[in-house]
Amino acid sequence: MDDGLRARWERLRDRVDDACRAAGRDPGEVTVLPVSKTFGPEVIREAVGLGLHRFGENKVQEIRDKHEPLADCGIDWVMIGHLQTNKAGVVAQLAAEVQSLDRPKLAAALEKHLHAQNRVIDVLVQVKTSDEPSKYGLDPEQLPAFLDELGGYPTLRVRGLMTLAINTSDADVVRGCFRRLRQLRDDAAARGHDLPRLSMGMSGDFPLAIAEGATEVRIGTAIFGARPYPDSYYWPERS
């Protein structure tokens, strides 16, 4: 069996399509965001050759390192990892989108830098949907006020919500996190916030996320293969 990038990508897209049909949804409704963290420019360039042009990265430093050697590829870099406020300037300059917007201070910093650079970007608000103590993400109770506050930031186009499910093999618990994000979105819609996008689901749990209404799944391992670092490197609080 050909185990190259193309084969893995096509197999993954087939599985996403299957999950959509199993959930009674149109596969055209669900986008895959390839997560290229830890993989270098050569691999990403190969993925560009497959027609992919949006890539999720977890660390600002990786976007910084990769954007230049890939400048000819027209890539949209999507920030999906915890973002320190003092890195907001780099992100405002290099990222097409931020999915890990999780606090007022970060929103203010992004607004300041984007305004200075005369740029407007799409953002998703990352919400904590599990009761794990130290997971990044906004507390759900704070979402209504935060959404109202973001209305005052013209450089941030708020398009939806993002979450990471709890790290457990209990499918019901994982699915509960995704359901909670959808409910938070529906509640916000009832208050007049239009949030069409739900970014939820990764290689290990995307069918559950699709069943709960994901419009976008963030997939690393199933496309690019195993990473050279353990996930505790990205999610220290999970180690």
Ligand X SMILES: *Cc1c(COP(=O)(O)O)cnc(C)c1O
Site for ligand X, residues 185 to 214, rule: CB under 6 A: 202-204
H or E element in which residue 78 lies: strand 76-79
> Are the C-beta atoms of residues 126 and 136 closer than 8 Å to each other?
yes
Cα distances from 61 to residues 26, 88, 132, 144, in angstroms, run 36, 12, 27, 32
Q: Whose CB is nearest to ligand X?
A: 220
Judged by phi (left if over 0) then psi (alpha if -120 to 50, else beta), residue 120 lies in: beta
Which residue lies nearer to ligand X by CB, 76 or 144? 76
Minimum CB–partner distance for residue 182 and ligand X (Å): 17
Which part of the chain contacts ligand X (CB under 6 A), choosing from 16-24, 65-73, 103-111, 218-226? 218-226
Q: Which 8-state DSSP code applies to residue 167? A: S
Site for ligand X, residues 10 to 49, rule: CB under 6 A: 35, 37
220 binds ligand X (CB under 6 A): yes
Minimum CB–partner distance for residue 190 and ligand X (Å): 28
Which residue lies nearer to ligand X by CB, 16 or 195? 16
| Count of residues engaged in binding ligand X, rule: CB under 6 A | 15
Q: Is the dihedral of CA 209, 211, 217, 221 positive or negative?
A: positive
CA distance 23 to 185: 19
Kind of pairing between the strands at 121-126 and 156-162:
parallel
Minimum CB–partner distance for residue 148 and ligand X (Å): 26
56 CB-near residues (< 8 Å, 6+ apart) = 33, 34, 35, 36, 37, 78, 79, 80, 99, 218, 220
Cα distances from 197 to residues 29, 168, 186, in angstroms, run 10, 24, 11
219 binds ligand X (CB under 6 A): yes
Minimum CB–partner distance for residue 2 and ligand X (Å): 21
The token pair at 110 is 């992004």
Which residue lies nearer to ligand X by CB, 35 or 107? 35
140 binds ligand X (CB under 6 A): no
Which residue lies nearer to ligand X by CB, 112 or 175? 175
Site string for ligand X, 100-129 (x = CB under 6 A): ------------------------------
Q: Which residue has the tokens 């599985």?
A: 15
80 binds ligand X (CB under 6 A): yes
Which residue lies nearer to ligand X by CB, 17 or 112? 17
The token pair at 75 is 């890539």
Beta strands in 38-154 (DSSP E): 54-57, 76-79, 97-101, 121-126
Minimum CB–partner distance for residue 10 and ligand X (Å): 16
137 binds ligand X (CB under 6 A): no
Sites of contact with ligand X (CB under 6 A): 35, 37, 58, 80-81, 164, 202-204, 218-222, 234
